[in-house]
Chain A
Amino acid sequence: DAGVTQSPTHLIKTRGQQVTLRCSPKSGHDTVSWYQQALGQGPQFIFQYYEEEERQRGNFPDRFSGHQFPNYSSELNVNALLLGDSALYLCASSLSEGGYTFGSGTRLTVV
């Protein structure tokens, strides 16, 4: 049974560019949450998707957007990248409430 799969594992982008990160949830999970982990910090909640809708959002600007597909997989999009967006982006899946399983993350470097 595959866990949470994220792609790509590493990414380097230039300031001002746009990026799309992908997440496939654990089999049977219907809810996907995205977290940003800056170096030396704990993960910060970005947003959560359920039934293809964003149902909760953390304190992140509109440059951060997402999508959930009918097969429950999800994308995180970041526009107009800033140097400060460099971080490890973690996807977590769950079955509606609780029981979060995390992926290994995508490490984004903005230069």
Chain B
Amino acid sequence: GEDVEQSLFLSVREGDSSVINCTYTDSSSTYLYWYKQEPGAGLQLLTYIFSNMDMKQDQRLTVLLNKKDKHLSLRIADTQTGDSAIYFCAENTRNSGYSTLTFGKGTMLLVSP
């Protein structure tokens, strides 16, 4: 079955880089996603990567994908206090020909001034 694992907590200082890691199990996933959730809010799509890519950069965000090890990471450069939130890794899994998202439990990122 599908399972997505993430570390639960990360604390960094403002201006540092943050790296959030994720492992997944479904080798047939076509897309892998990173979502951000602020307190009391829904999910905001940050970025995604197609499974045939190794890296994707989008402004302060860099996604690295190691398909052999089924490992995904999100690097946030110059982390700001506004980046404090819970970050979810999700894989696009297919059952009966249709795709759904399988999420990890989320990594709480705390950015201190």
Contact = CB atoms under 8 A, between A and B. Distances in A.
A61 interface: no
Contact of B42 (A97, A98, A104): A104
A50 B45 CA distance: 22
Contacts of A45: 100-102
A42 B98 contact: no
Interface string B69-112: 00000000000000000001010100110111111111000000
Contact of A101 (B30, B31, B41, B45): B45
Contact of A42 (B4, B40, B95): B4
Q: Which of B88, B99, B100, B103 has the most chain A CB atoms inside 10 A of its CB? A: B100
A82 B42 CA distance: 23
Contacts, number: 56
Q: Which of A40, A41, A58, A102 has the most chain B CB atoms inside 10 A of its CB? A: A102
Contacts of A105: 41-42
Query: Which secondary structure dominates chain B's binding surface?
Result: strand
Contacts of B96: 55-56
Interface string B36-52: 00001111110000000
Query: Which secondary structure dominates chain A's binding surface?
Result: strand
A104 B37 CA distance: 10
Given A41-B105, A42-B105, A43-B101, 8 more contacts: A35-B101, A42-B4, A45-B100, A45-B102, A56-B95, A97-B98, A102-B44, A105-B42
B104 A90 contact: no
Interface residues of A, number: 24
A90 B92 contact: no
Given A42-B106, A43-B88, A98-B31, A90 B99 contact: no
Closest 6 A-B residue pairs measured CB to CB? A42-B103, A104-B42, A102-B43, A42-B105, A102-B42, A105-B42
Contacts of B31: 98
B98 A100 contact: no
B34 to A, nearest CB: 12
A93 interface: no
